[in-house]
Structure 1
């Protein structure tokens, strides 16, 4: 199956009626897409009560891709708010239990920062993460070009395959060592993840200090670009049972529109979505 969605449900204004409160947005989002990436888990390990509410607000077939907490991937500035890394991983695993109970956990995404280079120490840390996550489905996304340099490209793919990591394939600007090329190589027969970050090269290279996220992900894919990717997705689907596609170009409100356009290009028709609220004029 090919699943298409976006990263986060809070900023997708084109999906919601005016005045929709934040607590109702996920319910409405689930009427449009079968998957979503949970970003809030990156900034703080979420209490189970939050996860239970999200699970309850979505249809039985809905799936969550949960981003690993920043302390687990080396983004955390300063000391982690736990006694040990082991305690941090235990807390994160416990936060996932409601997803698992409802069979709604597609995978956990470990996205590493641009300073996480291809070194022996970091490879060993990836092994340790795999062990700590106790067999859960894990996706791996790099942000440092060294992992796919000519010297390490094949070794990286071989390592991910042997460890059963789900490859998070990226479409993003090519902006030196802090970006990675698009590597169309699945490493897990069950699943492959594709994330669209946009192609705003200027914003990627020179983000503003205060609003770098808004600048970096400001991009709208055109039909030619999406059509090329539709062919890639179909090819990836021959090698992985499920392909999950997430649009992360949220800054200008383009992600949801591009995701819907992509669903049409792939001629996908999802069953089991949440009922949509009718617009006032729909019944006239």
Structure 2
């Protein structure tokens, strides 16, 4: 069975910092990360979705975490075709970008190549110190399965050769029963890990919970919460959900099956509203550590 690492999709969320989970004296940038890394073995970096990372931050993150700690890093928004403000790009590259959303990976290849070079250069300290987990490519809801989408994925597979990529689809058709195997086969051929999700199944275009493993190296599950406001409302509305123990325990068979098929399984909580994500991660860690007999009788 592979190694299962549980964590959250942010350690710097303002509501978490203000909520009291970090003790006094551990609420500055260095103290927060060190405190978090004492309790969880993995975290997701989401700031890299909004702007390119910096090598300085990567160096600091590596210095402030123990050996074996991993950072999963979210891909820059332009890489996945999300709307991206020109101001989010380095000043010398802004003239090459229209600022409008487009087909992910099908924009100016020279711009994408240069952004990718800078993105990965900034992350090299994490890679060099063994702290880079995976690069998360979260594609938008309009990125459905078709020939153009497959071309995008193939393009990123070539550009990112040698880097660990994980793909989260927000369009539910990728995991429709009649397309599920073809989607899994495509990611397997491209050497990309599948990101499975937990979310409210009552909302429109909900992505189904699957336990697909497409890379023997790593599998990823992201728990988004089960808010009925997914896809609408404020960010807090979309992610406001406190997982119950029963909701988390229902995932244990899936997680254990995935862990048997991958060297490493990352279980990340994205319900970052107050301290809901860290509390859910703590509960899931306890459930996974509990002997099977006690889970069955508890």
Over 4 Å off, 4+ runs: none
Residues 5-16 of structure 1 correspond to what in structure 2 (within 5 A)? 5-11=7-13, 12-13=16-17, 14-16=20-22
Query: Matches of 1:95 and 1:125 in 2, distance apart?
Result: 23
1:98 aligns with 2:125: yes
What is the CA distance between 1:231 and its match in structure 2?
2.2
Partner of 1:176: 204
What is the CA distance between 1:91 and its match in structure 2?
1.3
**Residue pair 1:145, 1:176 contacting (<8 A) in 2 also:** no
User: Normalization by structure 2: what TM-score?
Assistant: 0.84
Query: Matches of 2:271 and 2:50 in 1, distance apart?
Result: 19
Q: Which of 185, 194, 200 is the aligned partner of 2:212? A: 185
What is the CA distance between 1:113 and its match in structure 2?
0.9
Query: Matches of 2:248 and 2:35 in 1, distance apart?
Result: 25
User: Normalization by structure 1: what TM-score?
Assistant: 0.88
1:225 aligns with 2:253: no
Query: Matches of 1:46 and 1:15 in 2, distance apart?
Result: 26
Q: Which moved more, 1:57-66 or 1:88-97?
A: 88-97
What is the CA distance between 1:78 and its match in structure 2?
5.4
Partner of 1:241: 263
**TM-superposition CA deviations, 1:14-33 (whole Å, max 9, x none):** 53113622342111111110
1:197 aligns with 2:187: no
What is the CA distance between 1:151 and its match in structure 2?
4.0
1:167 aligns with 2:212: no
**TM-superposition CA deviations, 1:55-87 (whole Å, max 9, x none):** 111001111100001111111335573341111
What is the CA distance between 1:157 and its match in structure 2?
0.8
Partner of 2:43: 36
Aligned length: 262
Partner of 1:76: 83
Query: Matches of 1:232 and 1:37 in 2, distance apart?
Result: 21
Query: Matches of 2:204 and 2:179 in 1, distance apart?
Result: 16
Partner of 2:103: none
**Residue pair 1:108, 1:137 contacting (<8 A) in 2 also:** yes
Q: Unaligned 5+ residue runs, structure 2? A: 97-110, 291-298
**Residue pair 2:21, 2:275 contacting (<8 A) in 1 also:** no
CA RMSD of aligned residues (A): 1.6
Query: Matches of 1:93 and 1:68 in 2, distance apart?
Result: 10
